[in-house]
Amino acid sequence: MRTIRLLALGWLFHVKGLTSSGFFVLTSTVQPVIFASIAFFMFEAGARPGTLLYVALGAGLMGVWSSTLFGAGGAIQWQRWQGTLEITVSAPTPFLLVMIPMTISAASIGLYSIAATLFWGRVFFGVPLHFAHPWLFVLALPATLLGLGLLGLVMASTFVLYRQASAFQNLLEYPVWLITGLLVPLALLPGWVAPIGWVLSPYWGMRAVRESALGGDPLVPIGMCVGLAAVYLVLGALFLANFERLARKHATLSLT
Amino acid sequence: MRSFWRVFFVGGAISYRALFNWISPVMYVTTMLGSPLFQVLFFAYLGRFSRLQDDTFFVVGNGVQISAMAAIYGMTMGIANERNFQTLSPLLATPANRLALFLGRALPQIASGLFVSAFGFGVGLLLLDFHLGWSQIPPLALVLVVTVSSCTCFGLLLGSIGLRARDVFFISNLVYFLMLLFCGVNLPLDALPGWMSAIGRCLPLTHGIEAARAISRGAALGDVSGLIVTEAAIGVVYATAAFGLFRYFEYEGRRRASLETM
C-alpha cells in the first residue's frame, strides 16, 4: 500500500512540476499543435482524404514522445543539477520507486498533446472525432503512456552515464517519430527500419491508439505495450542498479 | 575604423568561443547536424505520404530552414547569454563600438548556419530524390548567404529581447517551430490561409526558400533577383530593429541599474 501511495504521489508531484514548466508546455502542447497544423495543411493540399484523425493522433503521439524524451531521458541529470540526487539515492525508499513515477509522469503530460491536437483538429480543421472502439481507446492511452514512461526509465538510467546525454536527446526526436510510423507509414520507409520500430513502445502505442480510434484490432498492440513495459522495467532496474553501484564506487553521484 | 573591424571580427570570434564553450564536437554533430538530417528525411517522407510535392520541394525548404538552428537559437544565445552568464555589465562598460560588438556576433552564426544548410542539401542529394547541377550551386549559394544572414538578423532581434525578457528561449523555441509552419518550408504559401501567408511574407526565410526552390528547378539568378532583394531587405529591417532594441535596453539597464537583473 505504501508503495502504491509513493508511486501515485510521486506521479502527481512530477506532473504538477512539469506542467508548470514553460519548456514542457511548449513541448507537450504548442509543438504538437504546430506539427499537426503542418500535417493537416499538407494532407488537405495533397488531397489525401480520410486521414485527418490519423494525423491528429499521430501528431499527439509525437508530443508524447517529445515529453518522454526530454522529461524522462534527463530525469537523473536534472536531479543532479538541482542537487536532489544524493537525497533521493540515500533515502530508504528504493531509487527505482522514486524514478518510476518521474518517468511515467513525463510520458503522462503527453496526454496534453493528444488532447491539444484532437481539440485543435476538431475546432480548426473539422476533424471527425468518431472512435471505432471508444472503450479500447480509453484502455490504449494508459497502456501507451506506461510503455513510453518505462522506456523513459531505460533512457534515464543509460543517458546518465554519458556527459553528452542532452545531445542524444536532441538527436532522437525526429528519428523515433519516423521509425515508429507516428505520421508516416513504415511501408514507405526502407524495409530494415520496421524491426527497429518493433522494439520501441511508441510503435505499439501508435498502433493501439490508432486502431482503437480508426478501426482494427487494438488488443494486440495494447498487450505489446504492456509486455514491452515489463521488459523496460527489468532493463531499467538493472541499469539503475548499475548506475547507483558505479556512482557509489567512484564517488561520482553528484558530478555533472 | 580599424578598431571597428577588430571588434567586429576578433570580438565576434572570441564571443562565440566564450559563449559556446559548452558545444563539444559530439554536441555539435548530434544537435546541429543529426537533428536537421532527420528533419529533412521526416518531412520528405511525410511529403511522399501526403502526395503534396516531390522530394526537391521538401529538401530545399528544410535545407534552408535548418539554418535557423544557428540563426535563431545560436543568435539568441549569442546576445541573451551575456546576461545569463553575468558578463553583460563588463561588456557594456567597455568603450567598444556597439554596432561592431553587436553585428560581430552574427558572423560565426551565419557561418554555422550555412554549414548546416549545406549539410541538409547534401543529405537530400545522397539519400533522397533530389538533384542539383553544378551550374545551380553558385546562385543557390548566394541565395543561402542572403537568407541565412536575414534569418540571423531575426535572431539578433530575439537576442535583444532576451536582454529584458525572462525566458527568451521559450520564445526562440516557439519561433523556430512557427517558422516551419508560416515560412512555406513544407507547404506552398497558397495552401495556407491568407493571414498566415501574409505573416510568412514578413518573416525571413520565406522569400529565400522560394528563390532557392526556383533555382533548384532551373531558374536563373536574374529570375529570382526580386525575391533575393526582398529577403535581404527583410533582414535589414530586423537588424535595425534589433540594434535599436539593444541600445534601448542598454540605456534602460544603465538608468535603472537592472542590466543583469534576472
What DSSP letter does each residue of chain A carry, written as one string?
-HHHHHHHHHHHHHHHHHHT-HHHHIIIIIHHHHHHHHHHHHHHHTT-TT-HHHHHHHHHHHHHHHHIIIIITTHHHHHHHHT-HHHHHHSSS-HHHHHHHHHHHHHHTHHHHHHHHHHHHHHHH------SSHHHHHHHHHHHHHHHHHHHHHHHHHHTT-TTHHHHHHHHHHHHHHHTTSSS-GGGS-GGGHHHHHTSHHHHHHHHHHHHHHSS-THHHHHHHHHHHHHHHHHHHHHHHHHHHHHHHHT-TT--
CB B38 to CB A178 under 8 A? yes
User: Which pLDDT score, from 0 to 100, does residue B49 have?
Assistant: 92
b (16+ CB within 10 A) / e for A174-191: bbbbbbbbbbbebeebee
CB B24 within 8 A of CB B99: no
Nearest-angstrom CA–CA distance, A239 and A245:
10
Which residues in A lie closer than 8 A to residue B47 (C-beta atoms)?
Answer: 42
Percentage of residues of chain B with pLDDT beyond 70? 99
pLDDT single digits (tens) A78-115: 788 888 888 888 888 898 999 999 999 999 999 999 99
pLDDT single digits (tens) A204-246: 999 999 999 999 899 999 999 999 999 999 999 999 898 888 8
Is residue B236 predicted with pLDDT exceeding 70? yes
Mean pLDDT on B120-149: 95
Q: What is the average pLDDT value for chain B, to the nearest integer?
A: 91
pLDDT band at A50 (very low <50, low <70, confident <90, very high): low
Sequence-separated (6 or more) residues with CB below 8 Å from residue B198: none
User: Which pLDDT score, from 0 to 100, does residue B17 have?
Assistant: 86
Pick the closest to residue A193 from B104, A201, A249, A185 (CA basis).
A185
Residue A184 has its nearest CB partner, among B30, B31, B46, at B46
Number of domains forming the structure of chain B: 1
- Assigned C-alpha cell, B70: 544557428
Among A179-193, B14-28, B68-82, which range has the highest average pLDDT?
A179-193
Residue B129 contacts A, CB cutoff 8 Å: no
User: Which pLDDT score, from 0 to 100, does residue B187 have?
Assistant: 94
Nearest-angstrom CA–CA distance, B216 and B130:
9
User: Which pLDDT score, from 0 to 100, does residue A75 have?
Assistant: 79
Residue B188 contacts A, CB cutoff 8 Å: yes
User: Which pLDDT score, from 0 to 100, does residue B31 have?
Assistant: 87
pLDDT band at A163 (very low <50, low <70, confident <90, very high): low
Is residue B233 predicted with pLDDT exceeding 70? yes
Task: Name the residue range of residue B104's domain.
Answer: 2-256
The angle subtended at Cα B75 by Cα B74 and Cα B79, nearest 5°, is 115
Mean pLDDT on B44-59: 93
Mean pLDDT on A135-152: 95
- CA distance, residue A15 to nearest chain B CA (Å): 20
CB B191 to CB A45 under 8 A? yes
pLDDT single digits (tens) B156-176: 999 999 888 878 888 899 999
Residue B50 has its nearest CB partner, among A37, A43, A175, at A43
Surface of B (5-44) touching A: CB under 8 A: 24, 26-27, 30-31, 34-35, 38-39, 41-42
Mean pLDDT on B139-158: 96
Question: Which amino acid makes up residue A83?
Answer: G
Residue A41 has its nearest CB partner, among B169, B177, B191, at B191
User: Which pLDDT score, from 0 to 100, does residue B61 have?
Assistant: 97
Surface of B (149-178) touching A: CB under 8 A: 167, 169-170, 173-174, 177-178
User: Which pLDDT score, from 0 to 100, does residue A140 have?
Assistant: 96
Mean pLDDT on B48-62: 93
In a domain, B261, yes or no: no
In a domain, B97, yes or no: yes
User: Which pLDDT score, from 0 to 100, does residue A101 have?
Assistant: 93
User: Which pLDDT score, from 0 to 100, does residue A76 have?
Assistant: 78
User: Which pLDDT score, from 0 to 100, does residue B23 have?
Assistant: 82
User: Which pLDDT score, from 0 to 100, does residue A256 have?
Assistant: 55
Domains in chain A: boundaries: 2-250
Is residue B131 predicted with pLDDT exceeding 60? yes
In a domain, B89, yes or no: yes
Q: How many CB atoms lie within 10 A of CB A7?
A: 15
User: Which pLDDT score, from 0 to 100, does residue B86 have?
Assistant: 83
Q: Compute the CA torsion angle B16, B19, B25, B29 (nearest 10 deg).
A: -80
Residues A91-94: contacts with CB under 8 Å, at least 24 apart = A93/A6
Nearest-angstrom CA–CA distance, B47 and B128:
12
